[in-house]
Amino acid sequence: MRTSQDTYLHKGLRSKLVDSIRSKGITNESVLGALLSVPRHFFLDSAFEKQAYEDRAFPIGEDQTISQPYTVAYQTQLLDIRPFEKVLEVGTGSAYQACILAELKAKVYSIERQKKLYDSNKGFALLKQYPALRLFYGDGFEGLPTFAPFDKILITAAAPHIPDALLKQLKPGGCMVLPLDEGENQRMHRLIKLDNQSYVQEKFDEFSFVPMLVGKR
Ligand code: SAH
């Protein structure tokens, strides 16, 4: 069962979590503000409320996890979201990251390959607060050509390579943030698309994500 009560206790725990994420090196105040606003415990079963405010990933069923808050903050900071930008997210999962992007006033298109996870967000009342957030059932390797081009693209699962279709769906000048597989772990990468033929690539820290898998299920 989900809860929809956001008490002073929850707000206090959230504020401590944000302080700890700040102390780990996240400096973008809008990103930290979004983490302070979005009640992360709404995304977990009410039995795990306390865990919602620990800085770690947590199982959400179907062998998937809600990303660690620090990782969400890290990827969001790299994306450098501006209001009204069109953002494609691959791997909706719990929809927590999607709500953080929507809280930053992005127009969010988030895609999930697992029908059960996609369906579990259908009756999620909190999502109604974000009319600019749209969820899709599909394979992120293919992206959403109907809604392209996007200003920004975020992959929240370990990508084996840079998906070609996604690079095509990115606007020139836009960026894609993705954890690229290096065996055991993944290294965070940011690609900046210069034009239809070229991009530059920056490398950041190592993380551990669940795999990005081909096809729907
Ligand atoms: N952004 C999520 C993190 C979920 S974990 C959150 O905030 O909770 C990664 C998610 O990516 C999983 O739900 C997994 O099913 C999904 N995924 C993996 N490969 C995918 C693909 N090819 N297309 C879409 N989603 C994918």
Task: Give the pLDDT of residue 184.
Answer: 84
Task: Give the pLDDT of residue 136.
Answer: 98
Per-chain mean pLDDT for the chain: 96
CA 167 to chain CA centroid, Å, is: 18
Mutation choice for ligand 1 from 88, 100, 153, 212, CB with most ligand atoms inside 8 A: 212
Mean pLDDT of 155-175: 98
Residue 62, pLDDT > 90, answer no
Spatial distance between the Cα atoms of 188 and 211, rounded to a whole number of angstroms: 14
pLDDT tens readout for residues 125-141: 999 999 999 999 999 99
Mean pLDDT of 53-65: 91
* Atom 17 of ligand 1, nearest CA residue: 91
Task: Give the pLDDT of residue 50.
Answer: 84
CA of 8 to the centre of ligand 1 (A): 31
pLDDT tens readout for residues 91-110: 999 999 999 999 999 999 99
Task: Give the pLDDT of residue 7.
Answer: 96
Question: What is the 8-class DSSP label of residue 105?
Answer: T
- Mind listing the domains of the chain with CATH numbers? 8-207 (3.40.50.150)
- pLDDT band, very low/low/confident/very high, at 176 (cuts 50, 70, 90): very high
Mean pLDDT of 147-158: 98
Atom of ligand 1 nearest to the CA of 94: 8
CA of 93 to the centre of ligand 1 (A): 5
Mutation choice for ligand 1 from 71, 114, 126, 177, CB with most ligand atoms inside 8 A: 114
Atom of ligand 1 nearest to the CA of 139: 23
pLDDT tens readout for residues 24-35: 999 999 999 999
CA of 120 to the centre of ligand 1 (A): 13
CA of 81 to the centre of ligand 1 (A): 20
Q: Where are the beta strands (DSSP E) in the chain?
A: 58-61, 64-66, 86-90, 107-112, 133-137, 150-155, 170-181, 186-193, 199-207
pLDDT tens readout for residues 178-198: 999 988 899 999 999 999 999
List the catalytic residues. 67
CA of 213 to the centre of ligand 1 (A): 9
- pLDDT band, very low/low/confident/very high, at 60 (cuts 50, 70, 90): confident
Measured from the CB, is residue 90 less than 6 Å from ligand 1? yes
Task: Give the pLDDT of residue 74.
Answer: 98
Spatial distance between the Cα atoms of 45 and 48, rounded to a whole number of angstroms: 6
Cβ proximity of 82 and 136 under 8 Å = no
* Atom 20 of ligand 1, nearest CA residue: 212
